[in-house]
Amino acid sequence: MIYNRLGKSGLKVSAISLGFWQNFGVNDPYDNMKAMVLTAFNEGIVHFDLANNYGNGSILGTAEINFGRIFKNSLEHHRDEVTITTKAGYEMWGGVYGDKNGSRKYLIASLDQSLKRLDLDYVDIFYHHVPDSETPIEETALALDQIVKSGKALYIGISNYNKKQTEEILKIFKELKTPFVVNQVSYSMLERWIEEDGLVDFAKQEGFGLVAFSPLAKGLLSDKYLKGIPSDSRMGKGNPFLKSDVLTEDLVKKLNKLNDFALKRGQTLAQMALSWVLRDTTVASVLIGASRSEQIKENIATLEKPLTSDEITEIGSFLEN
């Protein structure tokens, strides 16, 4: 495992981190969830990423409940060896106060609920999950700062904030001396908005880290779509996060070129996609999802073959054409 520092902070995270958005819900087998968490830890993953609303199924928060149970029963004595993160910002509970927002009331109440589900005294990083245009950014920043001062989180992060939004909240964090260390963003070979927006350069300049989610572009950068849309794929099953009109003829050609290049260097397309996201340590970690332990090991093997500068240039030519 490789461990990268989050910007200029003292906190390091594993280059590959385990995310709990899917496959840790109310209907998922406990033994398989436990096997994945223990496999990740035994392979050197020390960064576990959750959110208040994670856990596919009808009951929000089940990912935190399941992880908390696994951690309590199997890894609690390793608490000081891991970084556990959670987030709040999206719709979570009924009534006016549990809707999508960044208010002091929502954020503090949500973290209290998360800590109960996780059965923890604190989390290592607490994120505001998504910007809220209806709450003054000062209120959100002050609430996050208060959360750290209360001891319920050691560091603060934001997620899905663009450069302009990050600049606004960072100014307040600097005044308060809040330990802000990371912005968690979507990033892949097919979704490069953080480069176009200037967020990557801004992170380098200001000394905070980036953590990337959706590095496989919601599965497009696996090898499932090289011949179109298979019936057992996310797109084939009508996943609302992946529209079928995205898979154009040009994109299929591009995916096949990338796949051929990956195979020549002894990787799967998915592994090369992770290598590409990690080519610059401004992105300190990439979040993976998994449905079985073997996938976690396959993803970690990515680190054995970092991309050379010439390979990065050649991949860039595929992506531009």
48 with 89: CB under 8 angstroms? Answer: no
pLDDT digits (tens, 9 = 90+) for 27-71: 899 999 999 999 999 999 999 999 999 987 668 999 999 999 999
pLDDT digit string, tens, across residues 126-165: 999 999 999 999 999 999 999 999 999 999 999 999 999 9
Express as a percent the part of the chain with pLDDT over 70. Answer: 94
Q: What is the mean pLDDT of residues 196-210?
A: 98
Residue 24 lies in a domain: yes
Residue 240 has pLDDT above 80, yes or no: no
* Closest CA relative to residue 229, chosen from 248, 213, 211: 248
As a whole number of angstroms, the distance between CA 318 and CA 312 comes to 10
Q: Is residue 201's pLDDT more than 70?
A: yes
> How far, in Å, CA of 258 to CA of 317, rounded?
10
Tell whether 33 is covered by a domain. Answer: yes
Give the residue with greater pLDDT, 271 vs 58: 271
Residue 175 pLDDT level (bands cut at 50, 70, 90): very high
pLDDT for res 258 = 95
Average pLDDT over residues 234-239: 54
Alpha carbon distances (Å) from 321 to 148, 251, 281, 308: 46, 10, 26, 20
Residue 164 domain boundaries: 3-220+268-305
Q: Residue 232: pLDDT band by 50, 70, 90 thresholds?
A: low
Residue 229 has pLDDT above 60, yes or no: yes
Is 215 a member of any domain?
yes
**Closest listed residue to residue 210, CA positions, set 153, 279, 267, 313:** 279
pLDDT band at 225 (very low <50, low <70, confident <90, very high): confident
> How far apart are the C-alpha atoms of 120 and 189, rounded to whole Å?
36
Asked, for residue 248, whether it belongs to a domain, the answer is no
Quick check: 224 pLDDT over 80?
Answer: yes
Q: Is 6 helix (H, G, I), strand (E, B) or coil?
A: coil
Q: How far apart are the first and last CA of the chain?
A: 34
> Do the Cβ atoms of 299 and 271 come closer than 8 Å?
yes
Q: Is 256 domain-assigned?
A: no
Detail the DSSP E strand segments found in the chain.
3-5, 12-14, 16-19, 47-49, 83-88, 123-128, 153-159, 180-186, 209-213, 283-288
181 within a domain of the structure (yes/no) = yes
**Alpha-carbon dihedral angle through residues 307, 280, 223, 290, given to the nearest 10 degrees:** 120
In a domain, 138, yes or no: yes
Per-residue pLDDT at 22 exceeds 60: yes
Q: How does the average pLDDT of the chain come out, rounded?
A: 93
Is 186:260 a contact under the CB 8 Å cutoff? no
Position 230 scores a pLDDT of 60
Say if 246 falls within a structural domain: no
Confidence (pLDDT) at 59? 85
With bands split at pLDDT 50, 70 and 90, how would you rate the model's confidence at 235?
Answer: low
The total of structural domains in the chain comes to 1
CATH number at residue 71: 3.20.20.100
